[in-house]
Structure 1
Amino acid sequence: MEWSIQEIARRAGTTSRTLRHYGELGLLEPSRVGRNGYRYYGPEALVRLQRILLLRELGLGLPAIAEALRGQRDTAAALRAHLGLLEQERERIGRQIASVRTTLHKTERGEELMAEEVLDGFDHTKYEKEVTERWGREAYRRGDRWWGSLSEAERRDHQREQTAVAADFARALAAGLAADGDEVQKIAGRQYRWLSVVSAPSKSHFIGLGEMYVTDERFTAHYDRHGEGTAAFVCEAMRVFGERNLTD
């Protein structure tokens, strides 16, 4: 049994571009490539993709996923570990559902609310875990301190600038400009400065962020809402900017 790259992408809720990117990084090789150049994936590749997607759900970056896959030779043991984590998440979501039902019930009846009931199951450290896993504890602390120091107006201004940069990337793509051209590289410089408000990213960090915009569906959706293909365009522009201007 095997499936085409389009079938796998559709069933996984991702894109063929993402699967090809995984292949380029050595994370997910196709089981075979047809004479027409189409990629096909068999059961082993399917299981490996499942593991990749599970690790992405846990917030791991692609380098960390590659390391995890190299270190987990026993597929069954790895899947058992994943299953345990998913069951924990299911239990937490179940508590959230119960919490919201209780809040709704008491609100409708005018009954007194209890903090432990209203907030049960809500993990306010989600982003802390994700950032720490990818870039380290100190990166989270710096970002958290900086964000906490901003006023509401300053936070809105920061978010508006990011939206403006993304829109400029999309317009450049629509105009047929090259990712390594001067005009697009100026936009990439704005992206770098926007990311540098807390701490200037190194070359590998900056390029890695660009790759995440392609491989993480959340970021892809954020950029591609300005125009299909924007995330991939931003990724390439950031790679060029990093190679030309940054060091590790």
Structure 2
Amino acid sequence: MDWPISEVARMSGVTARTLRHYDEIGLLPPARIGSNGHRYYEEHQLLLLQQILVLRELGVGLPEIGRVLADQVDTVEALRGHHRRLLAERDRLDALAGTVSRTIAELEQSGRDGRPMTAINRPENLFEGVQPAQYEGNLRDFPGLAEEAGRRAAAMTPAEVEPGQRERTALMIRLAEHMAGGAPAGAEPVQAEIDAQYRALTSLHAVSADEYRAIGRLCVENADWRAAYEAIAPGLAEFQRDAIEDYAVSRLG
């Protein structure tokens, strides 16, 4: 039995555009192409797609996924490995949930006794379980951008990756400070931060105004992104989205 690309897109939640991109880069060729030019997928391709999506959720770039799939011999053993990584990710999300819960409690305590929150909790504890690098891992609807981000990440050592992660976290904190200070999303200091984000993205791949708006919406709609923002400050995901929308309108047209 096989399924047309539209049905695979419906079942998996992956856009047909992304599936076509996976075919074009040799990651997931269809089982066949019909006389109508449509791609059709069989069970083997669905299993591969499942592995691709699991690895993407774990933050693995497309080039590395291609190498993993090319090297694997035993599908069951490969799935066991993915399962172990998913359990580790579950533990990370549990830690993130604990971080947010602890921050809520400490903010409430700070409001009652007037002490700064950082006097109660070491500042670095605010970021337990937060991984800003997942930003790249969830660009599934922007395959060109995701592929280039993954390619660069795969070529970097952990020591080279860490400064970028710290800067992304610092940028999120600066946005939270602007938001807490009452600055609107369109304020110049906020827009300067958004401009830095946009320039970082376009250094990887061209990003249109509509695509940047869509990325802004993902800050709210994507569970991983929203969790990362909300772990820093409640409402930050919406603030980032609104700031990107303002930037796209005022500077990108």
Match of 2:129 in 1: 122
User: What CA distance in whole angstroms lies between the structure 1 residues aligned with 2:166 and 2:108?
Assistant: 38
- The secondary structure found in structure 2 opposite 1:122 is coil
- Gapped regions of structure 2 (runs ≥ 5): 138-148, 175-187, 219-253
Matched letter for residue 47 of structure 1: L
On the 8 A contact 1:2/1:43 being kept in 2, the answer is yes
User: What CA distance in whole angstroms lies between the structure 1 residues aligned with 2:80 and 2:122?
Assistant: 35
On the 8 A contact 2:28/2:48 being kept in 1, the answer is yes
User: What CA distance in whole angstroms lies between the structure 2 residues aligned with 1:20 and 1:163?
Assistant: 26
Deviation, structure 1 residue 3: 2.3
Deviation, structure 1 residue 98: 3.2
On the 8 A contact 1:28/1:49 being kept in 2, the answer is yes
Q: Are the structure 2 counterparts of residues 58 and 146 from structure 1 closer, same or farther at C-alpha, using a change threshold of 3 Å?
A: closer
User: What CA distance in whole angstroms lies between the structure 2 residues aligned with 1:224 and 1:97?
Assistant: 22
Deviation, structure 1 residue 75: 0.8
Q: How many residues align?
A: 179
User: What CA distance in whole angstroms lies between the structure 1 residues aligned with 2:125 and 2:168?
Assistant: 26
- The secondary structure found in structure 1 opposite 2:40 is strand
Match of 2:52 in 1: 52
Q: Are the structure 2 counterparts of residues 220 and 22 from structure 1 closer, same or farther at C-alpha, using a change threshold of 3 Å?
A: farther
Matched letter for residue 159 of structure 1: I
Q: Identify the structure with bigger relative contact order (alpha carbons < 8 Å, sequence gap 6+).
A: 2
User: What CA distance in whole angstroms lies between the structure 1 residues aligned with 2:122 and 2:128?
Assistant: 12
Asked whether 1:160 is paired with 2:195, we answer: yes
Q: Are the structure 2 counterparts of residues 220 and 32 from structure 1 closer, same or farther at C-alpha, using a change threshold of 3 Å?
A: farther
Matched letter for residue 154 of structure 2: R
On the 8 A contact 1:61/1:134 being kept in 2, the answer is yes
Q: Are the structure 2 counterparts of residues 12 and 125 from structure 1 closer, same or farther at C-alpha, using a change threshold of 3 Å?
A: same
- The secondary structure found in structure 2 opposite 1:27 is coil
Deviation, structure 1 residue 70: 0.8
User: What CA distance in whole angstroms lies between the structure 2 residues aligned with 1:121 and 1:165?
Assistant: 25
Deviation, structure 1 residue 134: 2.5
Matched letter for residue 222 of structure 1: I
Which one of 143, 152, 161 corresponds to residue 140 of structure 1? Answer: 161
Query: What percent of counterpart residues are identical?
Result: 35
Matched letter for residue 50 of structure 2: Q
User: What CA distance in whole angstroms lies between the structure 2 residues aligned with 1:145 and 1:105?
Assistant: 25
After TM superposition, the score normalised by the length of structure 2 is 0.53
Deviation, structure 1 residue 149: 11
Match of 1:31 in 2: 31
RMSD over aligned CA atoms reads 4.5
Q: Are the structure 2 counterparts of residues 80 and 23 from structure 1 closer, same or farther at C-alpha, using a change threshold of 3 Å?
A: same
On the 8 A contact 1:99/1:118 being kept in 2, the answer is yes
Match of 1:233 in 2: none
- The secondary structure found in structure 2 opposite 1:78 is helix
- The secondary structure found in structure 2 opposite 1:104 is helix
> Deviation string for 1:23-75 (max 9, x for gaps)?
11221121222222222212111110011112222323222211111111211
Deviation, structure 1 residue 163: 4.9
Matched letter for residue 136 of structure 1: M
Q: Are the structure 2 counterparts of residues 122 and 44 from structure 1 closer, same or farther at C-alpha, using a change threshold of 3 Å?
A: same
Match of 2:68 in 1: 68
> Deviation string for 1:109-133 (max 9, x for gaps)?
6488444996474235746997774
Q: Are the structure 2 counterparts of residues 73 and 133 from structure 1 closer, same or farther at C-alpha, using a change threshold of 3 Å?
A: farther
Matched letter for residue 156 of structure 2: G
On the 8 A contact 2:5/2:16 being kept in 1, the answer is yes
Q: Are the structure 2 counterparts of residues 79 and 219 from structure 1 closer, same or farther at C-alpha, using a change threshold of 3 Å?
A: farther
User: What CA distance in whole angstroms lies between the structure 2 residues aligned with 1:33 and 1:220?
Assistant: 34
- The secondary structure found in structure 2 opposite 1:40 is strand
- Gapped regions of structure 1 (runs ≥ 5): 167-190, 196-208, 226-248
Q: Are the structure 2 counterparts of residues 102 and 94 from structure 1 closer, same or farther at C-alpha, using a change threshold of 3 Å?
A: same
Which one of 209, 214, 220 corresponds to residue 221 of structure 1? Answer: 214
